[in-house]
Amino acid sequence: MRQVAEHPRLLRELVAALGTSREGTRLSCKALHRRGYATFEVGILTITDAGRAVLSSDIELRSGPSTQKVRTRAGNTLRAKAWRAMRMRDGFSLDDLLTMLCDGSEVDAAKNLGAYIRALASAGYLLALPRRGNGPHPQRYRLRRDRNTGPEAPAFNKVTRTLTDPNTGEVLRVPTLAELAQQEAGHDA
């Protein structure tokens, strides 16, 4: 960003000044634009007030996803497919979703979907249904009608323990299992 602190620069000027590839420089410019530190239009990078504030405070910018605003953008992730299935079904279990959605090529699909289901249930999106019959039957859930907010899957950020619903813009804190147990113990007392 120091390259554009004085005046806007063309992409080709940045490539020459930094000695990097055109594509890598273009991606960096787009990332700065996405985060609000610069505008990048018609191949020209211009610093914003937020970018000037970052430069003056000597905050180190790092590449990679921001832990503050992580959301699912791809429509074909396992969790996005699970969300669509949850919206269509009256009830489901983890086993139901695994059978419907997985072909065996996914890595840790049960762990991934299990964590997602627990996050949705903790945030109040899912209602746990009574278990069927006797014996070890898997827990079944139903998406609450008032939490069927739209087609985009809510994104669970494990690091910040937040669930972001792109349909409503709502960000909910998801309690840990220990916090849930503590809440239950408080209700029983």
Is the domain of 86 the same as that of 176?
yes
Report the CATH number at residue 17.
1.10.10.10
Residue 120: the pLDDT is 96
Cβ atoms of 172 and 185 closer than 8 Å: no
pLDDT, tens digit, for every residue of 45-69? 888 888 888 788 766 676 665 555 5
Is the domain of 109 the same as that of 168?
yes
**In-domain check, residue 116:** yes
Quickly state the pLDDT bin for 72 (edges 50, 70, 90): very low
Residues 137-155 have a mean pLDDT of 94
Number of domains in the chain: 2
Residue 25: the pLDDT is 86
**In-domain check, residue 68:** no
pLDDT, tens digit, for every residue of 34-47? 888 888 888 888 88
Rg of the chain taking only CA atoms, in angstroms? 22
Taking each helix axis from N to C end, the angle separating 94-101 and 109-122, rounded to the nearest 10 degrees, works out to 130
| Residue written as token pair 């899957």 | 153
**In-domain check, residue 63:** no
CA distances (Å), origin 144, targets 38, 114, 119, 121: 41, 18, 14, 10
Quickly state the pLDDT bin for 134 (edges 50, 70, 90): confident
**In-domain check, residue 22:** yes
Q: How far apart, in whole angstroms, are the C-alpha atoms of residue 33 and residue 28?
A: 9
Domain that holds residue 91: 78-188
Is the domain of 42 the same as that of 123?
no
Using alpha carbons only, what angle is made at residue 73 by residues 147 and 75, rounded to the nearest 5 degrees? 75
pLDDT at 129 over 50: yes
Is the domain of 83 the same as that of 138?
yes
Using alpha carbons only, what angle is made at residue 119 by residues 115 and 122, rounded to the nearest 5 degrees? 135
pLDDT, tens digit, for every residue of 92-113? 999 999 999 998 888 899 999 9
Cβ atoms of 168 and 150 closer than 8 Å: yes
Structure tokens at 86: 């949850």
Residue 59: the pLDDT is 67
**In-domain check, residue 53:** yes
Report the CATH number at residue 83.
1.10.10
pLDDT at 73 over 80: no
**In-domain check, residue 66:** no
**Residue 112, CB-side half-sphere exposure with 13 Å CA sphere:** 16
Residue 50: the pLDDT is 83
Q: Which runs of E-coded beta strand occur in 64-161?
A: 92-93, 126-129, 140-143, 155-157
